[in-house]
Structure 1
Amino acid sequence: MMPDIKRVSISYFLDRTKPVIYLVATYGTDYYCVQHSGREHFKLLTPAHYYHPGVTTLPDKKKQPGEDISCTSAEKALNILLAFTPFNAEMGTTELSLKLGLHKSTTSRLIKLLVATHFLQQNPLTKKYMLGSSAVKIGSATTKSLDSKLLAVAQPCLTELSRQLGESVALEMLAGTKVVLALHVEGPSHIRFNFQQGEQVPINVAAGAKVILSHSDPTLLELCLEQEFERFNENTIVSKDEYRKLLQKIKQTGIAYDHGERYHDTHAMATPILGLGGAPKAAVVIAGPAFRLTDQFLQAAVAPLKATAEKISSQLFF
């Protein structure tokens, strides 16, 4: 008599030569390979000790070129989702199959499952796929946790940088298509730059916004560039083409500046805090009066500024 199966894994495959479906099931701590001949009739084929517990297909299943049959369907589905990170670029079934080394039919079956559960969605125009609302919900929950941790990790690092340089420092973060000032530490001098915590900063002048967007996905950048560029003075960049060219240079150096582009008497410099895959999470910014933040001062401040960003990144992601 077949033991009561407490749990059946989601991995299965249809033997197209016979009207049966094979599954891997568990009974207690034991694994069994079972044959499903009908809706309620199961037949025990072999105990799991003949197979590796991670194998969810029968040994006579033909292995497709480049496909690892020891990888469970759950792992394959998760790998499909991970293939869209970090920028969620659209991909089709064939592209995903080649990227992950999966058979196209396997990829297609898993995509249908992921679409049905809203982890993927299909672009009706291109017929390609991208992460869906369920993935966004998980990402949003993770981001909230990460943002809280980022602020907690960054606070002592910014305090130390401010003490070391004697100037005000801040943390700017991307929020949707906007950049906001999330955290700041005021410098010790009587004449100093006062950040407004929670302020949405203009992306065409703020050093932190520039360095974040220079490392961002091109699609996100274009969405951010839909907002109007306000002119604050003659130093302000208002041309989108000029701004794009500037971002290309910033990406190469990892440093962005604000040389009096919003306030004539203020200079600022920023470097990004990068996550896994090189996606920007925030920027460390130093700002102060132009008569103190000279070219010589800024050049000397590059090393400690980058070291602070790397320290924050290492504590968050590695």
Structure 2
Amino acid sequence: MSDATDTPNTKQKVRSAEVATDILKALASLTPATSLSRLAEHLGMPASKVHRYLQALIASGFAEQNPATNHYALGREALRVGLAALGSMDVLKQAALPLSQLRDALNESCFLAVWGNQGPTVVSIEPAVREVTVVTQVGSVLPLLHSSTGLVFCAFLPERETQALRDAEYSALPAREQQALPRLLAQVRAAGMHHVHGLLLPGVDALSAPVFDALGRIVAVMTVVGPSSMFHAEADGPAAQALRDAAAGVSWRMGHGLRQD
């Protein structure tokens, strides 16, 4: 006996849904609006077929057509669904598995920090599984200018958000470090990460990389810490590459890279 899900009618509905989804993805890629001919070319479909599906999408609110230009764009329903998806994204949840996988790969303590009321705040930790470990605590607030985590936040957050904490710590810096700070932050942005040797704690090295959301905003920092005698926190080393990959993966899960400028 044939399963009901295998009927020609069901297969046709599934195929229609796939085509409609492809058209919505194409509209997202060709934002803010596009012509029918360009959309059809992008999809590799006959314009007549694309037009037929567009009419159905317009009727359901997932697409719209500008009467002045006849160009097509995503509709309000597509926006509503997108906003709902963004609202459901939790960086702590999205980073949980990648953080533990990074710890397993490096066997060094790894943690995730977010920007809190007092500054960089540790919200999740995966300690190294060995006798010598370097562990901070959930809820710990790290200095802005004296930790790799803080410096990454300082480099990527809007200045207005870090100004108060930055001013409080800046005066305690030696004059040479005050002068070098703008250049250091530019280097962090260019490298997409930061590494320190004994900056916060003597004998402890750290690597930190930013996590971004769909709007390109920094929402967290992933950090690997370990004793200098065992952990090689070099910007071009294998640990740094593993951290970059992990942070980029979490950013992807948060929707980073999907925005079309």
Which of the five TM-score ranges fits, normalised by the shorter chain?
A: 0.5 to 0.7
**Structure 1 residue 205 and structure 2 residue 146: aligned?**
yes
Could you report, residue by residue, the CA deviation over 1:197-238 in whole angstroms, capped at 9, with x for unpaired residues? 11111111221221122122233243441333586xxx9899
Name the SS for the 2:105 alignment partner: helix
Q: Is the 8 A contact 1:266 1:290 kept in 2?
A: yes
Q: Cα offset for 1:182?
A: 1.0
Aligned-pair CA distance for 1:278: 2.2
Count of aligned positions: 192
Structure 2 residue 230 is the aligned partner of structure 1 residue 292: yes
CA deviations over 1:76-111 (Å, ceiling 9, x no partner) = xx9xxxxxxxxxxxxxxxxxxxxxxxxxxxxxxxxx
Counterparts of 1:122-137 in structure 2 under 5 Å? none
State whether residues 197 and 233 of structure 2, in contact with CA within 8 Å, keep that contact through their aligned partners in structure 1. Answer: no
Q: 2:133 aligns with which of 167, 179, 192?
A: 192
- Give deviations 1:43-90, integer Å, cap 9, x for gaps: xxxxxxxxx989xxxx9xxx7xxx99999xx97xx9xxxxxxxxxxxx
TM-score (norm 1): 0.51
Any conservation in 2 of the 1:271–1:283 contact (CA below 8 Å)? yes
Partner AA of 1:311 in structure 2: G
Correspondence for 1:5: none
Report the counterpart of residue 301 of structure 1 in structure 2. Answer: 239
- What one-letter code is carried by the residue in structure 1 that aligns with 2:244? K
CA distance in 1, matches of 2:153, 2:97: 21
Task: Give the structure 2 partner of residue 225 of structure 1.
Answer: 166
Structure with the bigger RCO (C-alpha within 8 Å, sep 6+) is 2
Contact 1:271–1:309 (Cα < 8 Å) also in 2: yes
5 Å-filtered alignment, 1:54-65, equals none
Contact persistence 1:204–1:236 (CA under 8 A): no
Deviation at 1:283, TM superposition (A): 0.9
**Residue identity matched to 2:163:** E
Q: Identical aligned pairs, as a percentage?
A: 17
Match 1:281 to one of 203, 207, 219: 219
Q: Which ranges of structure 1 fall in alignment gaps of 5 or more residues?
A: 1-51, 79-137
Cα shift readout 1:262-316 (whole Å, capped 9, x = no counterpart): 2111000011111223211111100010111235697121211111111111122
How far 1:241 moved relative to its partner? 4.1
3-state DSSP of counterpart to 1:211: helix
Structure 1 residues 277 and 229: CA distance shift in structure 2, 3 A:
same
Which residue type is aligned with residue 160 of structure 1? Q
Task: State the alpha-carbon separation in 1 of the partners of residues 72 and 235 from structure 2.
Answer: 57
Q: Are residue 259 (structure 1) and residue 197 (structure 2) matched?
A: yes
Superposition misfits of 4+ residues, deviation over 2 angstroms: 67-71, 218-224, 226-231, 235-245, 294-298
Letter of the structure 2 residue corresponding to residue 196 of structure 1: Q
> Match of 2:254, SS?
helix
1:311 aligns to 2:249 (yes or no): yes
Give the TM-score normalised by structure 2: 0.61
* CA root-mean-square deviation: 3.8
Cα separation, 1, equivalents of 2:107 and 2:159: 36
Q: Letter of the aligned partner of 1:155 in structure 2?
A: A
Unaligned runs of 5+ in 2: 1-57, 62-66
Q: 1:16 — aligned with what?
A: none
Question: 3-state SS of the aligned residue for 1:227?
Answer: helix
* Structure with greater proportional helix content: 2
